[in-house]
Amino acid sequence: MEYRHPYLGLEPGKKKPLILVLAILFGLVLDAYSSFILGKDIVYTHFFYIPIVLGGIWYYRDAVYVALLLGLVHIITTLIARDFGIVTLEAMQRTAIFIIVAYIVGFVSEKQAKSLVLEEKKRRDAIRKSEEKYQSLVESTDDSIYLVDRDCRYLFMNKKHLSRLGLSGDQFQGRAYGDFHSEDEAKDFAEKINHVFVTGSSIQYEHEGSREGYFLRTLSPVKDPETGEITAVTVVSKDITGRKHAEEEIRKLNKKLELRVIDLEEITRMKTQFLSMTSHELKTPLTPVNAQLQMLREGYMGKLNAKQEKSIDVILRNVERFGNLINDITDISRIEAGRIRVSFKRMNLNDVVNEAIKMQEPFAQEKGIKISMRLGELPIVIGDAERLRQVISNLLENAIKFSKGSSDVEVETKRDGENVLVRVTDHGIGISREDEEKLFRPFSQIDTSMGRAYGGSGLGLAIAKGLIQVHGGKIWVESEPGKGSSFYFSIPIEQTIEEKEAPLLIRRSH
């Protein structure tokens, strides 16, 4: 139903040319009559029909044709009135004036019509645009959108839903939800639609399609803007199959992870238990061996000759080594499991150094090595004295072990900013740069053949590193091959017992 005007290519709508024809005929008759009756060429007669004709023109809205037509009519009537005699100049002038007036009226009318048409066009454009907007909204989504009436018959559906149902164009017309779904689904859907109609409120639910996947459906009422009556229900159906599967997958994974965590906790628990068991089981047979040997050595079983004493010393020494090895293995395993046990107290590191030196002195003397000390003034630190003694002892033991001849070993302690620093220096074989990083790994001996020659398991420094780390400190080495090495470790001063134990507690509680 388009609005077209002749000039604009648009039609004048309901306006009928008949009215114009009638108006013209009426004017014609009136003009002829008045001319005949009155027998004169009376201008006034025109005034009878002019308003009517002009009204027609306004109505018809076509200035030029109408004006010409009217001019023609006027001339004819005038000619008739004069019995087809000569048309006077005066009559011609009147006709011309008449045409001009008609033209002006028609012109104005047409102008107005044009603006009306333009307005109408604008209005329709706006409507079309907003419709396009909604259309693109409805079509651009991945969701199915459709409109159903009370009987679940489709009133509209977007392309997405058309294709989902295997339809095209307006094939949905006259079909209902039940045509595309199982009986159970249809029954359920009908109930939900009914619910929306009755309550007037939206509902949302997850729907497991009998043919495909999962959908999240939102059913909302469509109300008549005037009466408020519910006329239909829109259904927005979001395909959540992927999400559902992902959720399912996540649930499964979570379950698996949970089991793994339980497994791991169990393993960690077992490992710790195994460690204390192993250490206990290994030490148990060693204990009577060690005790009996000591008794033998002390002459409890009768006096020994020198050879026997020497023999038992060898055995005893190795029994002790074996005991230390068990301790070292337990320690390194605990360090690796993050379960090393320490007991933090306020302590002076110099006391610990002194103690360690006292313990290592005999071994140094055996090699003719002098241990010199430069102990600085140290603040109290929080630490496990026994463990730190173990670290310093190992550094000293190494220094003595890897010293060349009877070169001296030096121990220095000092405050270094916010740390206390311990240095153990020897003038022994030294360590090459590549080897420096290997040192602190468990079971690492730079040259295994040499390591064996010097004795030891390669655990000492790895344990030392673990113990120093537990203290929040650092351990490192500076060395020159062939000239000697300096091992350092530092421990922060400004840490309370709580601060030190916090990470341990966390680890332990796991």
Ligand X SMILES: Nc1ncnc2c1ncn2[C@@H]1O[C@H](COP(=O)(O)OP(=O)(O)OP(=O)(O)O)[C@@H](O)[C@H]1O
Residues 149/155/158/164 CA torsion (nearest 10 deg): 70
Label residues 488-501 b or e (16+ Cβ within 10 Å = b).
Answer: bbbbbbebeeeebb
Q: Is 457 in the site for ligand X (CB under 6 A)?
A: yes
Q: Is 431 in the site for ligand X (CB under 6 A)?
A: yes
The residue from 456, 470, 489, 490 that contacts ligand X (CB under 6 A) is 456
Using CB under 6 A as the binding rule, the residues of this chain from 366 to 395 that contact ligand X are 394
Q: Is 135 in the site for other proteins (CB under 8 A)?
A: no
Nearer to ligand X, 27 or 428 (CB): 428
Nearer to ligand X, 453 or 506 (CB): 453
Name the region of 498 (left: φ>0; alpha: ψ -120 to 50; beta: rest).
alpha
Instruction: Tell me how many degrees the CA angle 113-119-121 measures, rounded to the nearest 5.
Output: 100
Nearer to ligand X, 67 or 462 (CB): 462
Q: Is 330 in the site for other proteins (CB under 8 A)?
A: yes
d(CA 222, CA 215): 21
Using CB under 8 A as the binding rule, the residues of this chain from 270 to 309 that contact other proteins are 276, 279-280, 283-292, 294-295, 298, 300
Nearer to other proteins, 232 or 335 (CB): 335
- List the single partner that 411 binds among other proteins, ligand X, Mg ion, none, CB under 5 to 8 Å by kind: none
d(CA 474, CA 160): 65
Which two tokens mark 411? 């121990």
The residue from 460, 466, 473, 484 that contacts Mg ion (CB under 5 A) is 460
The residue from 445, 468, 490, 495 that contacts ligand X (CB under 6 A) is 445
d(CA 409, CA 372): 6
- List the single partner that 428 binds among Mg ion, ligand X, other proteins, none, CB under 5 to 8 Å by kind: ligand X
Q: Is 268 in the site for other proteins (CB under 8 A)?
A: no
Which two tokens mark 375? 């102990």
Using CB under 6 A as the binding rule, the residues of this chain from 399 to 428 that contact ligand X are 399, 402, 426, 428
Q: How many CA atoms lie within 13 A of 475 on its CB side?
A: 24
d(CA 303, CA 245): 84
d(CA 464, CA 397): 12
- List the single partner that 239 binds among Mg ion, other proteins, ligand X, none, CB under 5 to 8 Å by kind: none
The residue from 340, 371, 461, 470 that contacts ligand X (CB under 6 A) is 461
100's CB contacts (< 8 A; 6+ apart) are: 67
* Beta-strand relationship, 345-347 and 381-383: antiparallel
Binding site for other proteins (CB under 8 A): 276, 279-280, 283-292, 294-295, 298, 300, 319, 323, 330, 341-343
Binding site for ligand X (CB under 6 A): 328, 394, 398-399, 402, 426, 428-429, 431, 439, 444-446, 451, 456-462, 485
Binding site for Mg ion (CB under 5 A): 394, 398, 456, 460
